[in-house]
Structure 1
Amino acid sequence: MFLLALVVIVAVVMLVFGFEMFLVLGVPALMVKEFFYGRLPDPVLVQKIVGGINHSTLLAIPFFILAAELMGGGQIAKRLTGLVQAFCGHTRGGIGYTTIGASMAFGAVSGSAPATVAAMGRMVYPELRSNGFSDKFSLGLIASSAETALLIPPSITFIIYGWMTGTSVAKLFVAGIAPGFVLGLAFAVLVAWEAHRSGIKRGVPSAWPERLKAISHAGWALGMPVIILGGIYAGFFTPTEAAAVSVVYAIFVESVIFRDLPFSKLFKLTEQAAISTAIVFVLLALGGLLSYFITLAQVPTAITHFLDFIHAGPVVFLLIVNVCFFIAGMFIDPNSALLILVPPLFPVATALGIDPVHFGMIVTLNISIGMITPPFGLDLFVASSTLQKPVATIVAGIVPFVLANIAALLVITYVPGISTILPRLVFG
């Protein structure tokens, strides 16, 4: 436990002084090696850094990031939003429900919350304001709705969690559907409350010819989740292969069908995806090194003994997990929280009989909350940059959505059947 305390103290000090996140992960790992495992040959460090990311499952990450950039920068995101708007835009606060539904739909083809914020924000923010929603609520809704992209498959967070724990990514994809809808429902309740409080009136329902036209326009966009998820669940290809297929499909649809992807635009979007991929993989490599030393020091065993000492069962342990992730999400980026906390906590969870898939849903929802938790929630800054709004204004609007997240988290944490029923039905 002394080693874990040293890692935490060094990491916190570096965060306070504003060090980059890859250093916050890498420097404590090097200190542990020098102070506790000095006899360990230096080449082992290189092997752990390179070998940690030399895994075929992780190839899905750059493909899904590129696919998200292509769809967000093209017509697919717009047409998905138009489809949802055609069917629920006439209800009281309908554009709010459209924002949630469109974010879930875009998440089902991208797996990236920041990409969802960027893609949805520009389209729905003017509509939210013109329909009577306040500035703060509109900004909070846009930033929060993007969280569903981490739960609705395919999810990059599921891929990383599956790689770290050996849990089936396909099972995680199936399991994420129900928690994603629980979170979306919690946000929909907030939209209904705000629409009633603000006196927002119902809109005019779209005629069926308009709805059929919206379905026709979104047909190619809807083909993406059908191909990706249907192919995985039917066993035609793995999640990694599905990610590659998603890129080919996105390029084909945007360039050939929609004719909205000239080479210059493709080059720019690919460059942005490459930068995002490099950032993620540097964090994964150094996080894997830190995880190696945490495991080598038998920190999970020490945590298990401590829980036995205080007679803490699964209920108390999961509460501790949620508190740890909530605090971590306030100060470090989600992938780093995942890399730091999962290695010591996952073995304890399995020892207590907690289903790995269920634990993955709890971890992922915690990661989602970290995306919008001030002061360093990533989606807050993406929304600020996309919509040219002060971060403080977005934070003011995010408070009720954080409370809705906590309510959804408690339900998913202590009702495991929500997370496990679909994998059991699909895989037996």
Structure 2
Amino acid sequence: MSSLPGRPAEPARATASWPDKADAWLGRAVELIAAVLIVAEVCLLFAGVVARYALHSPIVWSDELAGGMFLWLGMLGAVIALRRNEHLAFSALSRNAAPETRAWLQAAITAVVLVTLCLMLRPAIDYVEDESFATLPNLGVPSSWRAFGVELCVVLMLLTILLQTARSGRLLATLIAIVALTILGAGLWALTPWLVHIGNFNLLIFFVLIVGVAILIGVPIGFAFGFATLGYLALTTTTPLSVVINRLDQGMSQPLLLAIPLFVFLGLLIDFTGFAKMIIAFLAALLGFVRGGLYYVLLVAMLLVSGISGSKVADMAAIAPGLFPEMRKHGANDGDLVALLAGSAAMADTIPPSIVLITLGSVTGISIASLFAAGLLPALILALFLAITIFVRSRSEPPPPETRPDWARVRKTFITALPAMALPFVIRWAVVEGVATATEVSTIGIVYAMLVSVLIYRPVQWSRFYPVLVETAALSGAILFVIGTATGMAWALTQSGFSNDLAHTMTAVSGGPYGFLAITIIVFLLLGNILEGIPAILLFAPLLLPVSHAFGINDVHYALVVVIAMSIGLFAPPFGIGFFAACAIGKVAPDAAIKHVWRYLAILILGLVFIAAVEPISTIFIR
């Protein structure tokens, strides 16, 4: 969660001010359009599956239309995320600061976001003009109609942040912060000859110092990347800034990434439709008589749900509310519950269809099908390591009152849960049999979940459907905006020759393939803890993958090591956002869980070392 200023706490007023009215109107309009786009994407892609597989008459223009709508959806989602303060950000500093310091930090954050959007506006206009000369081959319309989504949403984000600043009462502090940034920019502009003279050492100024400080104070990661990239290109190169918008477009428009909002939507539907509750009820009936049985239920439930949603927050939110009350009745410790929830979520990032695997494959060129085929076994091995930990720690607990399962209850809950448990198998069958691509298969899952919920798990709470669509747009926009700006930053780093320098350095110091894998694990544990998972992968995986080639390491094996290390770091204190999300979902203070989580994280790291050392674990199922 970012630290951008949101709605200030104040007494209710009889008459809302004009910024309140304008912000509310703007928010409702953007949310409605984004929700409609999600429904349209699902309908369009599912129609494409039916037309191609069932009617043998593919819709040739569907991919172009879906791609254009997807860019609009991602940018509108970024607007919603900005309005709801849900862009990915490191918020520990502002969260723990004194109120006066927090106010100044939020002013600085707002200033950086405003300046970044202002710097993006002119290049976005230029990019749309350039795209007006290109024509989409199947639709026969100018490409500028889809690129205009970037320009419009930059304007909408500017309006959003200006309205929220006016409502927050921090206008003066924000102006002071903008003046300070202007002075900084003028100073760097004056130093332009020196920056050019020092060569790639200027990367330390823009992509280490500026990005590091921006992220540390709480600037949303996507805006920190964009701010540094625009500054670097403007002050040290002659490259037109419209290239940044082009890279943002290319990064957000990759067809494989269309799976992100659709799987996020599917993950939220799991809770909306009651699928998770049905699965938990069956597993609890089956394993309730085992010592520590509900801990195994949590572990298996996370395995099943992670294979459906692809969103860690959605995974945990689907499982914890239904299972934690029952575990507490059996005397489970709150801190240990949240620690296992975090550990099981970190364990399951390679279970297909994983958004992280889709993202990694899209930026590195590794086959998504190979990553999906290879990802399941490492996750099962990590689950086994956690299960052994549960077995050891549960030996000291009193035995459950039940000595054997109630088979009548098991049969009843199994019949009820069977349609829900079939969902991950339906998804994987569709991919394996070639019915749908990794993107389209999410629509099959969505249609299946909706049909089952309407026909079997009735009644459906339709009042929750629209908020789920809006939440999908916000989460997807936050992720995709980081992907877009990170793509531009990675391009700038690549053009500077940094990737070659990094490859040479790591090749010299790593000490062979196992040494390089060890360095990779350490680096991505740290990056996952600080940067979030997707930004870390976007920036560094494409740079390090060529180095792994030099050591003869299989691409898929290296990719899985990277993803697992990043995921463990994401759930590690003190900075891991996943850990704090688990605490929030479990309604447990971080202080109560932090001493328990290290046990599970240490076991996961041990399992990761085992997986990294035994390459066939990752490659045995690759065709």
Question: TM above 0.5, one fold?
Answer: yes
Partners of 2:292 and 2:365 in 1: CA distance: 42
Hey, what does 1:12 align to over in structure 2?
Answer: 212
Partners of 2:325 and 2:462 in 1: CA distance: 30
Partners of 1:258 and 1:201 in 2: CA distance: 31
1:24 aligns with 2:242: no
- Pairing of 1:315-334 with structure 2 (within 5 A): 315-334=514-533
**Mapped contact 2:427–2:441 kept (Cα < 8 A):** yes
Hey, what does 1:146 align to over in structure 2?
Answer: 345
**Mapped contact 1:133–1:195 kept (Cα < 8 A):** no
**Mapped contact 2:573–2:594 kept (Cα < 8 A):** yes
Unaligned runs of 5+ in 1: none
Partners of 1:169 and 1:235 in 2: CA distance: 13
Say if 1:258 and 1:311 are closer, same or farther in 2 by CA, change over 3 A: closer
Per-residue Cα deviation, 1:250-282 (whole angstroms, up to 9, x for no partner)? 222223321243331111111111111111111
Hey, what does 1:124 align to over in structure 2?
Answer: 323
Hey, what does 1:55 align to over in structure 2?
Answer: 254
Hey, what does 1:294 align to over in structure 2?
Answer: 493
**Mapped contact 2:320–2:586 kept (Cα < 8 A):** yes
Say if 1:317 and 1:5 are closer, same or farther in 2 by CA, change over 3 A: farther
* Aligned-pair CA distance for 1:200: 4.5
Partners of 1:354 and 1:3 in 2: CA distance: 32
Partners of 2:519 and 2:203 in 1: CA distance: 16
**Mapped contact 1:58–1:160 kept (Cα < 8 A):** yes
**Mapped contact 1:255–1:262 kept (Cα < 8 A):** no
**Mapped contact 1:93–1:202 kept (Cα < 8 A):** no
Hey, what does 1:393 align to over in structure 2?
Answer: 592
Say if 1:122 and 1:322 are closer, same or farther in 2 by CA, change over 3 A: same
- Pairing of 1:86-101 with structure 2 (within 5 A): 86-101=285-300
- Pairing of 1:11-410 with structure 2 (within 5 A): 11-36=211-236, 38-201=237-400, 203-310=402-509, 312-410=511-609
**Mapped contact 1:85–1:98 kept (Cα < 8 A):** yes
Amino acid at match of 2:214: M
Say if 1:382 and 1:255 are closer, same or farther in 2 by CA, change over 3 A: farther
Farther-moved stretch of structure 1 (237-246 vs 21-30): 21-30
Partners of 1:112 and 1:272 in 2: CA distance: 12
Say if 1:117 and 1:337 are closer, same or farther in 2 by CA, change over 3 A: same
Amino acid at match of 1:18: G
In structure 2, the residue corresponding to 1:153 is in which secondary structure? coil
* Aligned-pair CA distance for 1:381: 2.4
**Mapped contact 1:143–1:372 kept (Cα < 8 A):** yes
Partners of 2:459 and 2:465 in 1: CA distance: 10
Say if 1:282 and 1:373 are closer, same or farther in 2 by CA, change over 3 A: same
Partners of 1:134 and 1:4 in 2: CA distance: 47
Larger radius of gyration: 2
Partners of 1:358 and 1:150 in 2: CA distance: 14
Amino acid at match of 1:245: I
**Mapped contact 1:301–1:348 kept (Cα < 8 A):** no
Partners of 1:184 and 1:118 in 2: CA distance: 19
**Mapped contact 2:507–2:547 kept (Cα < 8 A):** no
Amino acid at match of 2:315: T
* Aligned-pair CA distance for 1:160: 0.4
Amino acid at match of 1:154: P
* Aligned-pair CA distance for 1:402: 1.1
Say if 1:3 and 1:317 are closer, same or farther in 2 by CA, change over 3 A: farther
Hey, what does 2:158 align to over in structure 1?
Answer: none
**Mapped contact 2:234–2:241 kept (Cα < 8 A):** no
Per-residue Cα deviation, 1:319-339 (whole angstroms, up to 9, x for no partner)? 111111111222222122222
* Aligned-pair CA distance for 1:311: 6.5
Say if 1:89 and 1:303 are closer, same or farther in 2 by CA, change over 3 A: same
Partners of 2:364 and 2:289 in 1: CA distance: 45
Partners of 2:223 and 2:252 in 1: CA distance: 17
Per-residue Cα deviation, 1:209-255 (whole angstroms, up to 9, x for no partner)? 32222221112112211111111112221111101211111222223
In structure 2, the residue corresponding to 1:119 is in which secondary structure? helix
TM (normalized to structure 1)?
0.94
**Mapped contact 2:275–2:420 kept (Cα < 8 A):** yes
Per-residue Cα deviation, 1:307-365 (whole angstroms, up to 9, x for no partner)? 34346321111111111111122222212222222122122122322111111211111
* Aligned-pair CA distance for 1:169: 1.0
Partners of 1:307 and 1:198 in 2: CA distance: 48
- Tell me the C-alpha RMSD between the 2 structures: 1.8
In structure 2, the residue corresponding to 1:197 is in which secondary structure? coil
Partners of 1:254 and 1:384 in 2: CA distance: 29
Amino acid at match of 1:27: F
**Mapped contact 2:343–2:600 kept (Cα < 8 A):** yes
* Aligned-pair CA distance for 1:155: 0.7
**Mapped contact 1:107–1:113 kept (Cα < 8 A):** yes
In structure 1, the residue corresponding to 2:396 is in which secondary structure? helix
Farther-moved stretch of structure 1 (348-357 vs 409-418): 348-357
**Mapped contact 1:72–1:116 kept (Cα < 8 A):** no
**Mapped contact 1:154–1:173 kept (Cα < 8 A):** yes
* Aligned-pair CA distance for 1:207: 3.1
Farther-moved stretch of structure 1 (68-77 vs 346-355): 346-355
Partners of 1:35 and 1:354 in 2: CA distance: 38
Farther-moved stretch of structure 1 (128-137 vs 285-294): 128-137
In structure 1, the residue corresponding to 2:382 is in which secondary structure? helix
Per-residue Cα deviation, 1:169-218 (whole angstroms, up to 9, x for no partner)? 11111111101111111111221122113344473322333222222111
Q: Which has the higher contact order (CA 8 A, sep 6+)?
A: 1
**Mapped contact 2:335–2:588 kept (Cα < 8 A):** no
* Aligned-pair CA distance for 1:288: 0.7
Say if 1:115 and 1:58 are closer, same or farther in 2 by CA, change over 3 A: same
Amino acid at match of 1:329: G
Partners of 1:283 and 1:225 in 2: CA distance: 28
Partners of 2:461 and 2:284 in 1: CA distance: 28
Amino acid at match of 2:427: I
Per-residue Cα deviation, 1:66-118 (whole angstroms, up to 9, x for no partner)? 00001123211111112222322221100000110011011121122211111
